[in-house]
Homo-oligomer: A and B are copies of this chain.
Amino acid sequence: MGTVDRVLHGRGEVSEKTRERILGIISELNYQPNVLASTLASKKPALFATLLPLPLSEEGYWTKPLLGIKKRISELRHYGVRLEIFSFNQTNSESFVTEADKILKLKPDGVVLAPFFKNEAVHFTEQLKAEKIPFVFIDSEIENAGQISYVGQNSYQSGFLSGKLIDQIVPQKNILIVHFAKEMDNQNHLVLRERGFRDWFSKRPTGTFNISTIEISETENGTWMDSVHAVIIEKNIKGIFVTNSKAYLICRLIEKHKIENIRLLGHDLLKWNVEYLKEGIIDYIISQKPEEQGFNAINKLFRNVVQKRPIQKTNYSSIDILTSENVDYYKEFSKS
């Protein structure tokens, strides 16, 4: 048995002739190892680590991938899979580096990370590669960084689709793109969404549309509202594209100033967004399934690290179009 086990896992210490004999018998019998028995007997626990933005609230976006992650981890309890969670501050790239260093010290068997700050993320993944620790990107990706997989959407294409939808429902094409973000340059997928969005309109004749962009880096106090409102009036804005999950902020602005006839498209199923969608203030929400993405990211690591199965490098998540009529069938997360 010991010898057979050694050739099965290529652990050496087997003479060439017995190796061949065993391999022959394996293929002759079409032997398939029993994963259950294998993991039951081996008992060596795998340790995974996650590096994601700190969830800002119960209702915030980053709470959700974590739900999926924890769900899959709890299901894998009997496989001896453990998890350590590391969080960084979205507005502070240094915290990313600090936490990344902790992970390197921990030497986990696999990492799930959101490469939020590009430069810092590249540096981190270089180190992971050196340590031969496999990792999966979630939410946004860096191409060819050595990830075993990326779980998330194609941001450019999502923006392109958003362009089509807004175009379809806004007759007078004075459109405003709103980024609620600090350090736009580092937030690659917001940039890509805008690019896709503008490219949709680029096939129209110039002069038939009018697209402006505004960046809001601070929403703690209400002054941002005034500046956005000014732009809306000045440019006679009829459609707004919010590039991240903060569309509900625009809704509050619309309510406060009692603005009419503005069509609005935003992202992600935050509770407030859903409420405004149902009230008809938001017209479309483009969504990904963040719980499912968390779940899948861990699952990819599990299949790769524990089960040693081949996994697909990229399969982009679906870009879901939600309206008040179908949103109810997207809210639940259940893999059962």
Which residues does A use to contact B, with CB under 8 Å? 32, 34-37, 39-40, 77-79, 153-154, 157-158, 160-161, 164, 168-169, 299-300, 303, 309, 311-312, 315-321, 323, 325-326, 328-330, 332, 334, 336
Report yes or no: B78 in contact with A35, Cβ–Cβ below 8 A.
yes
Report yes or no: A325 in contact with B157, Cβ–Cβ below 8 A.
yes
A300: which B residues are within 8 A, CB to CB?
A: 336
Q: Which of the residues B79, B168, B319, B320 comes within 8 Å of A318, measured between beta carbons?
A: B320
Report yes or no: B325 in contact with A164, Cβ–Cβ below 8 A.
yes
> How distant is A285 from chain B, measured CB to nearest CB, in Å?
11
**Contact A303 to B164, CB < 8 A, known contacts A35-B78, A36-B78:** no
Q: Which of the residues B79, B325, B329 comes within 8 Å of A317, measured between beta carbons?
A: B329
A312: which B residues are within 8 A, CB to CB?
A: 334, 336
Report yes or no: B303 in contact with A315, Cβ–Cβ below 8 A.
no
Report yes or no: A161 in contact with B318, Cβ–Cβ below 8 A.
no
Report yes or no: A161 in contact with B323, Cβ–Cβ below 8 A.
yes
> How distant is A109 from chain B, measured CB to nearest CB, in Å?
18
Report yes or no: A299 in contact with B336, Cβ–Cβ below 8 A.
yes
Q: How far is the CA of A169 from the CA of B164 in the complex (A)?
A: 12
> How distant is A42 from chain B, measured CB to nearest CB, in Å?
11
A168: which B residues are within 8 A, CB to CB?
A: 168-169
A299: which B residues are within 8 A, CB to CB?
A: 336
Report yes or no: B336 in contact with A326, Cβ–Cβ below 8 A.
no
Q: How far is the CA of A160 from the CA of B328 in the complex (A)?
A: 13
Q: Which of the residues B34, B35, B39, B326 comes within 8 Å of A319, measured between beta carbons?
A: B326
A320: which B residues are within 8 A, CB to CB?
A: 318, 320-321
**Contact A303 to B336, CB < 8 A, known contacts A78-B35, A326-B157, A326-B161:** yes
Q: How far is the CA of A332 from the CA of B39 in the complex (A)?
A: 30
A-B contact pairs, 23 of them (CB 8 A): A32-B77, A34-B40, A34-B78, A35-B78, A36-B39, A36-B78, A154-B329, A164-B325, A299-B336, A303-B336, A309-B336, A312-B334, A312-B336, A315-B332, A315-B334, A318-B329, A318-B330, A319-B326, A319-B329, A320-B320, A321-B321, A321-B323, A321-B326
Q: A311-B336, A318-B330 are in contact. List 13 more A-B contacts (CB 8 A).
A: A32-B77, A36-B36, A153-B329, A154-B329, A161-B323, A300-B336, A303-B336, A312-B336, A315-B332, A317-B329, A318-B326, A319-B329, A320-B320
Whose C-beta in chain B lies nearest to the C-beta of A322?
B321
A160: which B residues are within 8 A, CB to CB?
A: 325
> How distant is A72 from chain B, measured CB to nearest CB, in Å?
12
Whose C-beta in chain B lies nearest to the C-beta of A157?
B325
Q: How far is the CA of A34 from the CA of B78 in the complex (A)?
A: 6
A32: which B residues are within 8 A, CB to CB?
A: 77
A318: which B residues are within 8 A, CB to CB?
A: 320, 326, 329-330
Q: How far is the CA of A67 from the CA of B297 in the complex (A)?
A: 23
> Which 3 pairs between the two chains have the least Cβ-Cβ distance?
A161-B325, A321-B321, A319-B326
Q: How far is the CA of A96 from the CA of B309 in the complex (A)?
A: 39
